[in-house]
Each structure stands twice: as C-alpha cells, then as structure tokens.
Chain A
Amino acid sequence: DQQVKQNSPSLSVQEGRISILNCDYTNSMFDYFLWYKKYPAEGPTFLISISSIKDKNEDGRFTVFLNKSAKHLSLHIVPSQPGDSAVYFCAASRYTGANSKLTFGKGITLSVRP
C-alpha cells in the first residue's frame, strides 16, 4: 500500500529552467511533509519541509507547495542547476506521536542538462 506516490520516475530539464517534482499521498492523517535529495552512493539529505498548516515554504531556490484538498505537494527548483541532478524523495508523516515515522515515496530522478 503506497501511501506516498511519486508517479514520474524521472524528469529532465534544461539548466536555468524550472524543475517541478510532484508527490501525492493517500493518508489524510499526514500533517508534515519533507523532501530529501540523494546522490549516488550517498545517503539522502534533507532539503525542505512543510507543515500542513501552511501551503507554501521557500528556501532559496527551493519552494514546496502543499494542496491538502488534493493531497498533493510539489517541489519547485528555480533556476535549476546541473548540481541539482539527483534522486528526490518525498516523505510524509504525522508530526507528533510516540511512533511517528517517515513514509517515503520511491523517488524521482532529476537530470539537469547544461
């Protein structure tokens, strides 16, 4: 049962353009969402997060948008750079609770062409 879905396995964009990575979730109890970036042979690294009380969070070139009614979030990278080429994982959780845990999607491979 995939509670977090990243339906597009890959995305290719030109350097300088916008990258939009999408993520859908099914569990309405999720109230905290995160994006992680992963380079080959390395562990995932935290990129940006958003709480369900917000619909947008921005950090430099990275912006995450949350549409709770559609159970959809997206990560925008503007402008895209070749160093952004990596696998991006969407993750979701209930923020509080003794057994809080992250549920990950299967990732999207982003390629930024010079």
Chain B
Amino acid sequence: DTAVSQTPKYLVTQMGNDKSIKCEQNLGHDTMYWYKQDSKKFLKIMFSYNNKELIINETVPNRFSPKSPDKAHLNLHINSLELGDSAVYFCASSQDRGRVGEQYFGPGTRLTVT
C-alpha cells in the first residue's frame, strides 16, 4: 500500500492553463505539506496543513491554492500557469504538528509548462 500518493505523476500543459495535483495519505497523519523542487534541486516548502487548517504559507504566488477536504487529502490548484512553475512538486505528511519530525513524501509530480 502506498503511504503518500500523488496524481498525476507527470503533467505537461501550456502557459495560462489551470491545473490541479492531488495528494492522499493513508498513514493517519495530521499534517500534510506541499514542497517544490526547482531546477536548482532545492526542496522548498510551500504550504502545510494540520487537520484541514493552514499552518504554513510561504511566499508563494496566490495563483497557488491548496485545498484540504479532509486530513487525508491535500490538493494543489495552480491558476494561470507560468513557465517558472515548471518543477517537481512533492506532497508529504507527518504525525506531529509543532514538532518537526520524520516526514513521508509522495513520489512527486513533474510539472512542465510550455
């Protein structure tokens, strides 16, 4: 059983389009995250949610909007896609909020904007 799953694995789209990436975890964790790994290979946190509550919102353009329908799901919607949005996006989850510990990552979604 996959602990943290993401769909789709690959996403190729044109500038200006709107797209979504879905994430689900079956670990019973309370906290979920979205990370972006850009061309320089840094993994940078974008958002974190705890029990559907937004906890961390880094300086991400408001074209990016996370949505958490329940604590097992955290989806990422991106409006008006730009070339610079091309990256690998990772979803992750962890048990504890307020105590950073081991995080479990999904396999990533490679987004290519043309």
B98 touching A43 by the CB < 8 A rule? no
Residue of chain B at shortest CB distance from A47 = B102
The majority secondary structure among interface residues of chain A is loop
Q: Does A70 sit at the interface, judged by CB under 8 A?
A: no
Q: Does B100 sit at the interface, judged by CB under 8 A?
A: yes
Residue of chain B at shortest CB distance from A104 = B43
B55 touching A95 by the CB < 8 A rule? no
CA distance A77 to B105 in the complex (A): 22
B99 touching A44 by the CB < 8 A rule? no
Residue of chain B at shortest CB distance from A106 = B41
User: Which of B41, B92, B107 has the most C-beta atoms of chain A within 10 angstroms of its own C-beta?
Assistant: B41
Given that A43-B92, A95-B99, A106-B41 are contacting pairs, would A101 and B108 also be in contact in the complex, using a CB cutoff of 8 Å?
A: no
Q: Does A28 sit at the interface, judged by CB under 8 A?
A: no
A107 touching B41 by the CB < 8 A rule? yes
CA distance A104 to B42 in the complex (A): 7
Given that A43-B106, A49-B101, A95-B100 are contacting pairs, would A102 and B45 also be in contact in the complex, using a CB cutoff of 8 Å?
A: yes
A106 touching B42 by the CB < 8 A rule? yes
Residue of chain A at shortest CB distance from B4 = A43
List B18-71 residues whose CB lies under 8 Å from chain A. Answer: 40-45, 48, 55-56
Chain B residues, CB < 8 A from A41: 107-108
Residues of A near any B CB (own CB < 8 A): 2, 32, 34, 36, 41-46, 49, 89, 93-102, 104-107
Residues of B near any A CB (own CB < 8 A): 4, 40-45, 48, 55-56, 90, 92, 97-108
